[in-house]
A and B are shown apart, each in its own frame.
Chain A
Amino acid sequence: MELLQLQTVWPALSEALNLLIRPAVLGYLFLGVTMGLAVGVFPGLGGIAGLSLLIPFMFGMDPILGLALMIGMVAVVPTSDTFTSVLMGIPGSSASQATVLDGFPLAKKGEAARALSAAFASSMFGGVIGAFFLTFFIVIARPLVLKFGLPEMLMVTVLGLSMVAILAGRVPLKGLAAAGLGMMVGTIGEADAGGSLRMATYDIPYLTDGLKLVIVGLGIFALPEIVALLRQDRMISKTAELGAGWAQGLKDWYANLFLSVRCALIGVVIGVIPGLGGSVVDWIAYGHTVQTTKNKENFSKGEIRGVIGPESSNNAKEGGGLVPTLLFGIPGSGSMAIFIGAVALLGSGDIEVGPAMIKNNLNYTYAIVWLLALANVLGTVLCIVVSGPIARLTTIRFALLAPFLFMLISFAAFQSGQNLGDLVALFAIGLIGILLRRFDWSRPAFLIGFVLSNPAEAFTNQVHQVAQFKFRQGIDVGLAYIFSPIVIVLIVITVVSIVVGIRQAKHIMAEGDVQSKSKRAPMIFLLAVLAYLVVSFWNASLISNRLLGDKIFPLFVSAVAIVACLSCLVSMIRKPPTDILFADREVYGDDANARYSLWSTLAWFASLLILTSLIGFILALCIFLFLFMRFRVRLTQRMSALYTACGIVFMCFMAWLLHRDFPPGLLQEWFVLPWPLT
């Protein structure tokens, strides 16, 4: 069997090489990479938008050229989305959320170029490691991947959740409550198992589908940071001179080579598991990075390892994700689903993604794997070249950038559901994000809870059902199913990670150093969270017992979070107002001394959203940008008009290029307007 495989592998390898070394292939790859970089810089768009753009050209195209174009595009999205994560604190995609944690603080310290080049070097290395690993792994992957059943996936999810322990912040109870709140927000909408509604109604169709990760990511991380910086009215970088440059970043990466290797392997392995998707990868890599770093004090304050870890894993994940896609025909992500569809259009439709791929198209399989590696190298070189100048953005007065960031995140949020509800959700989640940040509740814990809420619930229900079935066949069958060797290993890793996490969590201030002074505001926030949890508990308890699968998870999670909140409340009553429990950013520090108040700054953003709902996005932007530049930034009328025009032209150009729509308002209900005003 093994020998037979070797015999087919070598000819396929050389055939793949022959396919690749043609100038046209490299040309198309380059084209794909540049398009991918452009799309990736836009937060929230990701590979789906880019690939849909390419689909019309795929029909009948020379397969290898089409693959080069598509792989080039998909491969580099997680590379270039690092720009917004590091420079503006906006997670470009779900793959770069953990990068924000240390990348953005580095930018604030004036070390944006260093963070970027370390991130890019890690991305490239991760991508190449991923491809290298796949070259050997792909022929033997099928039986191994089939070992990953529902209990194994549930355990990987639990391992992801265990990262909450290390990111919980100084008060573990608050971290636990934040994660619980995130999970409860993740249960909003129609339940997977029986279709019951949780904290939603059919009268608001938007809620029945649940909240999208893009929106929660932007609301929890991006909006609070933008608002906080805007209030202080300064630059992102605290120093006008950009300190350590891109060469330092490369050195940093090289000094942490082994961390990079380990995280790349984490990325490939988790990417390989079908059904999990990539959203846990960066958190597990981040958690691993923290656990294996001796001096943990600098995490969340600008620790370069915190950038290298997740970035090494997220490009490697793309390689791993090819395994379920190519070998099983099961897309690991939205962009992979489109990729499968597009491959069917190539040439005369001979490439069949699925179990037959290895048998019939091993040469194309290898071509795809290596195109991925090449694309990573190309993309990184391009990114490093431009990272120096782009890092200068952090030395611009932030008020000049902020309105454009508001524009970008609104646009990105709208792309996730193409519904005005997206903007409302962004604002609501943003408000939660701002308050979590203010009162030092771990936002990473909230986000991890949200991301893993759905897989945790679905896998728990499914494992429970299948296990019951197996136990009816015999206790040994059931036990063998639940406690497979892989599960046991994962349990051990999870326990270790929780123990290590809890011991070290107090060193890692997920939200930085926050002072405490008075009891009132932090307590009101706690009571509000508690109230929401109690209402969702009550709401879930109303679901009929026949659909137990729909209610058991929200009941359990909200109960745990309620207990955490209550014990917090008890200690709040007992402890003095200077205790870390009462951390509040409005008491002392940058936020307290800010020039502008929180609410007036937030009102600017709210005005953009309200205007959009009335007159549509582009018209609203015209008014918003001009007024902001004129009255908040206090530019002259002419300069304000100029900035506005630049913003609008840029927005329209990008949307036109990617065939995207803008949010329409009431005006558009009554009048048919030409694009882009539609």
Chain B
Amino acid sequence: MSQALPGNPTVIVKYMPGAGSTKGANWFHKQKNGDGTLVFGTSGSTHFPYLLGDPRVKYEIKDWIPVMATGTGGVAYINAKDGKKFDGSGNALKGSKHIFGSQGATRLDLIPLLAWKMLGMKVEPVFGIKSRGNGRLMFERGEATIDYQTTAAYLQASMPLVEEGKAVPMMTWGSLDDDGKVIRDPTFPKLPTFKEVCEKTDGCSTSGDAWNAWKSFFSAGFPVQKIVFLPAGTDQAIVDTYIKAFEKIRARPDFKKLSSKRLGEYPMLVGKQAASATVEATTVTPSAKAFVIKWLNADYGTKLK
């Protein structure tokens, strides 16, 4: 960003951790001086509490001005023993019991938990894991028997496990095409998507409440996972400057190499495209929300009041 913005300003990274990423977002929401010296980077974990109506959320994402959006994907994998049974459908794993190291059911982990449930697997999440990396470590130690990672972390740390034969990839969450249909993840064209696995599994349906809820939250969590926002009320000229800067970054000859290493092979959306993607990432249908809230309470006793 520093190299692409006019005058090459120094970009200071300021961390504001806390309250499952809602603290930084709440703080950003209060910033009104849109003089172009402050941008905010969100990820799926900022969007989910907002979508679920977490009581700590005091921000309205729709007020902010998105200038860049980019997606990522996720891959689910199981241990070698159960992996042998996996035939591209969930049939052989029906009723099989698994342990999953999870950061919490209201986080991005909601996507895999719901997917596994729809496949009829009995996955018991061990909550309170501090990061997905620690979840993977539990898997490596044999304490967890199933895991998932977002693309970058999967490529970096889980792929070696697959190569050593300690893990078997099950499925990706997929990507969305222009019509909003789930297609194979461009980073992992050989792996089936959850949709494909579900279609082959008896009793798993790619229509109806559960599927609609899964797809709605998946669309919010992965295809548009990381967004750069300017504060509400920022001058249009400043917004345009940022859009130009991101276009410039995207046009770098080494951009593809840099971004595929960190995020996977996903398009980076700028300006208008980013704005419409943001709408996608921050809206779920009321019925999907109701379904998820009911399921979270029934299975994990989670209350979002």
The answer to the question of B2 belonging to the interface, with a C-beta cut-off of 8 Å to chain A, is yes
Residue contact B15 to A48, C-beta cutoff 8 Å: yes
Q: A549 interface residue, CB < 8 Å from B?
A: yes
Stretch of A154-162, A304-312, A462-470, A639-647 lying at the B interface: A462-470
Task: With A192-B128, A330-B134, A356-B156 as known contacts, state yes or no: A56 contacts B301, CB within 8 Å.
Answer: no
Can you list 20 A-B pairs with a CB-CB distance of less than 8 A? A52-B12, A52-B14, A56-B12, A56-B13, A146-B137, A150-B138, A150-B143, A190-B19, A209-B18, A209-B23, A329-B157, A349-B261, A352-B156, A354-B157, A355-B156, A418-B27, A462-B129, A465-B124, A466-B144, A547-B301
Q: Which residues from chain A sit less than 8 Å from chain B, CB to CB?
A: 48, 52-53, 55-56, 59, 146-150, 190, 192-195, 202, 205, 208-209, 274-275, 328-331, 334, 338, 344, 348-349, 352-356, 417-418, 458, 461-462, 465-466, 469, 472, 544, 546-547, 549, 659, 672
Knowing A202-B55, A418-B16, the reply to whether A466 touches B126 (Cβ < 8 A) is yes
Number of A-B contacts (CB under 8 A): 116
Contact, CB under 8 Å: A195 / B55: no
A546 & B301 in contact (Cβ 8 Å cutoff): yes
Residues of chain A contacted by B104 (CB below 8 angstroms)? 195
For the complex, what is the distance from the CA of A205 to the CA of B140, rounded to whole Å?
Answer: 36
Given contacts A59-B2, A205-B56, A352-B156, contact A544 B301 (CB under 8 A): yes
Q: Which residues of B contact A349 (CB under 8 A)?
A: 257-258, 261-262
Q: Residue-by-residue, is B132-164 near A (CB-CB < 8 Å gives 1, otherwise 0)? A: 011001101111100000000100110011000
CB distance from A470 to the nearest CB of B (A): 9
Residue of A nearest to B130 (CB): A275
Kindly report which residue of chain A lies nearest to residue B106, judged by CB atoms.
Answer: A195
Select A274's contact among B11, B58, B134, beta carbons within 8 Å. B134
Determine if A465 and B133 form an interchain contact, defined as CB atoms under 8 angstroms apart: no
- A356, B155: Cα distance in complex, Å: 10
Give the CA-CA distance A348 to B161 in the complex, in Å: 25
Which DSSP category, helix, strand, loop or mixed, fits chain B's interface? Answer: loop
B35 to chain A, nearest CB (A): 11
B287 within 8 A of A: no
Task: Give bound CA distance, A148 to B140, whole Å.
Answer: 11
Q: Is the CB of B14 within 8 A of A659?
A: yes
Residues of B within 8 A of A205 (CB): 19, 23, 26, 56, 58
Q: How many Å lie between the Cα of A149 and that of B144 in the bound state?
A: 11
Further contacts, 15 of them, CB under 8 A, given A146-B137, A149-B138, A355-B156 = A56-B12, A146-B140, A146-B141, A148-B141, A149-B142, A192-B128, A205-B19, A274-B137, A328-B133, A334-B17, A348-B257, A349-B261, A418-B27, A462-B129, A465-B99
Question: Nearest Cβ distance between residue A160 and chain B, in whole angstroms?
Answer: 17
Quick one: closest B residue to A353, CB to CB? B156
List the A residue with the shortest CB-CB distance to B157. Answer: A354
* B127: chain A residues within 8 A (beta carbon): 192-194, 461, 549
A466 engages B99 (CB within 8 Å): yes
CA distance A461 to B99 in the complex (A): 14
Expressed in whole angstroms, the minimum distance between the Cβ of B90 and any Cβ of chain A is 20
